Amino acid sequence: MGDHYDAIVLGVGGMGSAAAFELARRGRRVLGLEQFALGHDRGSSHGHTRIIRKAYYEHPDYVPLVLRAYDRWRDLERRCGRTLLTECGCLSIGRPDGELIAGVRASAGLHRLEIEDLDAAGLRRRFPAFQFDDVYVGVLEPSAGFLYVEDCVRAAVAEARALGATIRDNEAVLSWKAEDAGVAVYTAAGRYTADRLVATAGPWAGRMLADLGLPLTVMRQVVFWFGTQEDAAFRREVFPTFIAETPEGDYYGLPALNADGLKVARHYGAPELRDPSEVARAVTDDDETPVRRFLRAHLPSADGPRRRASVCVYTLTPDRHFLIDVHPRRPQVVFAAGFSGHGFKFASVVGEILADLADDGRTDLPIDRFRLSRFGLPTHS
């Protein structure tokens, strides 16, 4: 085709759509390439909603980034005239010395975030749908919320296009190679060139960046929506998003927002696979069993008929933190991968980070925790 761009974005899900938007708003000539239809359900950027929270139990280093992400989501809302982020308290439930409760309290304390501690009796009194015994406590973060995930992707793509970006879906990238100071990208439709390549390939990152030998695996996860005894008792105004750490596994859920009912899923707990082609797309009764067990033990009034189910894919790093960096041997290539099942809320700020790295090879946003070097891999300097 002979078309040349300032940047080609490889993969237009949550991270890629945000990167294309951010580059386009900076006046760059952008091409986004997506192997499936935009908003597809084959990766990690679907499933109606995602929790967004500030008191980040995974590590306090995430908090400045998620605060910036809130600002960027609100900016995108203003531009597109659509609600993308809805406020809704997030309730963390676990044992006081567990990773979840201790982590939420640590991040909130360090960054002076508002939280409310609930002992076992207070948890049952405040949120009577939950049934946990006296070894459990709750921490409520009132300024949390949820994102409408497919709407976020569509909004970022629409704004990127409005700013002049070209976004092509159903066009799989076959290969790419470095050429002088730029890159050439090959698809079934032809060849494109650019000064920069931004790789946001989700579960396919290992393939697209095979020369780096990234320590990535994928994990099949199934999300369910259940009818409840009374959906009005699970609406956003009275029922929070939640994360629960139990000896049988970690679970999360979101309020009943429509006729599908309460959204609930297990977090992790499935085998790690080498490639997304190994992910089974059909939902089985075995997938539902552990989620039902959790509901019957801890949310019995939500143990109703299954109304919907969806398979998604986590792309995991060994330490469950992200990978965001410049290619150590190809400085014209930047990438973001391995979001480990908790990354979508950061998409708006990751787009900004990737645009910084593509433009300047560096960013002022704090990403040292996410560099290649922590796995003994070289880092571009």
Catalytic entry in 25, 42, 46, 54: 46
How many beta carbons lie within 10 A of that of residue 210, not counting itself? 10
Catalytic entry in 50, 124, 298, 330: 50
Strands 323-326, 333-337: pairing kind: antiparallel
Domains 3-46+150-210+321-375 and 217-316 share a fold: no
CA 98 – CA 111 distance, rounded (Å): 20
Any catalytic annotation for residue 345? yes
pLDDT in tens, 295-334: 999 999 999 999 999 999 999 999 999 999 999 999 999 9
Evaluate whether 194 touches 261 at the Cβ level (below 8 Å): no
pLDDT, position 378: 75
pLDDT, position 379: 72
DSSP 242-266: EEEEETTEEEEEE---STT-EEEEE
C-alpha dihedral (341, 317, 352, 333), degrees to nearest 10: -140
pLDDT, position 377: 77
Any catalytic annotation for residue 68? no
pLDDT in tens, 118-168: 999 999 999 999 999 999 999 999 999 999 999 999 999 999 999 999 999
- CA 229 to the chain's CA centroid: 30
Catalytic entry in 263, 266, 327, 330: 263
Residue ranges of domains in the chain = 3-46+150-210+321-375, 90-142, 217-316
Catalytic entry in 82, 267, 369, 374: 267
DSSP 249: E
Any catalytic annotation for residue 369? no
Evaluate whether 368 touches 67 at the Cβ level (below 8 Å): no
Sign of CA dihedral 253, 216, 61, 94: positive
Q: Can you tell me whether residue 211 is helix, strand or coil?
A: helix
Catalytic entry in 124, 228, 312, 330: 312
Any catalytic annotation for residue 312? yes
The three-point CA angle 288-344-103 to 5° equals 80
Strands 182-187, 173-179: pairing kind: antiparallel
Residues of the chain whose pLDDT is less than 50? 1
SS3 content of the chain, % helix, strand, coil (to 5): 35, 30, 40
Any catalytic annotation for residue 321? no
Superfamily holding 3-46+150-210+321-375: FAD/NAD(P)-binding domain (3.50.50.60)
What CATH number matches the domain at 217-316, 1.10.10.10, 3.30.9.10, 3.30.565.10, 3.90.1150.150?
3.30.9.10
pLDDT, position 2: 58
